[in-house]
Amino acid sequence: MILVVGATGELGGRIARALLDRGEVVRALVRRREALDVVRAMGAEPVLGDLRDPEGLIAACRDVDAVITTATSAAEGSPEAVAAVDLRGNLDLVDAAEAGGVGRFVFVSPLGAAPDHPDPFMRAKGAVEERLRRSPMAWTVLQSDLFMDRLPMLVVGLPALTGRPVVLVGEGRRRHSLVATADVAAYAVAALADPAAVGRTLVVGGPEPLSWRDVVATFAHELGREVPVETVAPGEPVSGVPEVVQPLLAALETYDSLLDTAPLAQAYGIRPTALAEVVRGLVAGARAA
């Protein structure tokens, strides 16, 4: 049995469904009672619990062979949630998995996470990675670059689709290997079944490095009109973006992440999704609404 933590979210849900499609028995940790039926309809076994409840995690890990966790507090967007979920909750999950005799553990984490990172979210994820690397379990850390269908959609997509100016931090010319959520799910499922992934940190990104300006240009092309851009200095707030994410926007303007994940994609039989495919679907959906 495979326990998926985060199965009611987009990434975790994709992972759970992919595992079920492969004939795996899946258990999903569910925080809210109203989501129990959703998980059952998916074909998974729901177990009521929360990363903030260590005893519940022990019960969730009982009779489990492997754990995949994508859980994050990003939707709550508070420093308190980062400490309770991304740090303490995930550490308790590792402890519970070890206590329950779980043999395999896959942890999905953001690219650049480190225990000494200045950002609390990245620092929390890095601390969990460090703890997992000391575990007797067969672990894999899957470090992903930015999801192209999340933060870029919030920063660029929503304003572009509603005719408002896009606000970029800095000049928006640093490039990052934006990756589709569906692709990260595919990498996670493939890594779980790959003996060569045990004890390794796999870094995944999209088919090409892209800047915020490239994201704006892609939306402009698909919309068939110009998308106005305004800029603010690093550290200044961007309207509509959660407070916990604001430091990340500034940090992204200090480096490039030019990843070559083509060898891993080829080994796992994954065709990386291009940004234009994601944007085209969003624009079509907005026009049909």
- The model's pLDDT over 42-100, given as tens digits with 9 standing for 90+, comes to 999 999 999 999 999 999 999 999 999 999 987 676 888 899 999 999 999 999 999 99
Phi, psi of 110 (to 5 degrees): -80, 145
**CATH code for the part of the protein at 2-144:** 3.40.50.720
Strand spans (E) along 160-263: 166-169, 175-176, 200-204, 210-211, 229-232
Contacts of 5 (CB under 8 A, 6+ apart): 12, 28, 29, 51, 60, 67, 68, 69, 70, 71, 93
- The CA distance from 130 to 87, in Å, is 11
Residue range(s) occupied by CATH 3.40.50.720 in the chain: 2-144
pLDDT at 40: 94
Angle made by CA atoms 1, 69, 178, in degrees to the nearest 5: 130
* pTM metric for this prediction: 0.94
pLDDT at 77: 66
Residue range(s) occupied by CATH 3.90.25.10 in the chain: 147-179+207-258+273-289
* Radius of gyration of the chain, Cα coordinates, nearest whole angstrom: 19
Q: What is the dihedral of CA 82, 154, 12, 271, to 10 degrees?
A: -130
Where does the pLDDT of residue 204 fall: very low under 50, low under 70, confident under 90, or very high at 90 and above?
very high
- The CA distance from 49 to 28, in Å, is 9
- Which CATH homologous superfamily contains domain 147-179+207-258+273-289? UDP-galactose 4-epimerase, domain 1 (3.90.25.10)
CB 84 within 8 A of CB 53: no
Residues in a beta bridge with 166: 229
Res. 124: pLDDT tops 90: yes
CB atoms within 10 A of CB 245: 17
- The model's pLDDT over 249-277, given as tens digits with 9 standing for 90+, comes to 888 999 999 999 999 999 999 999 999 99
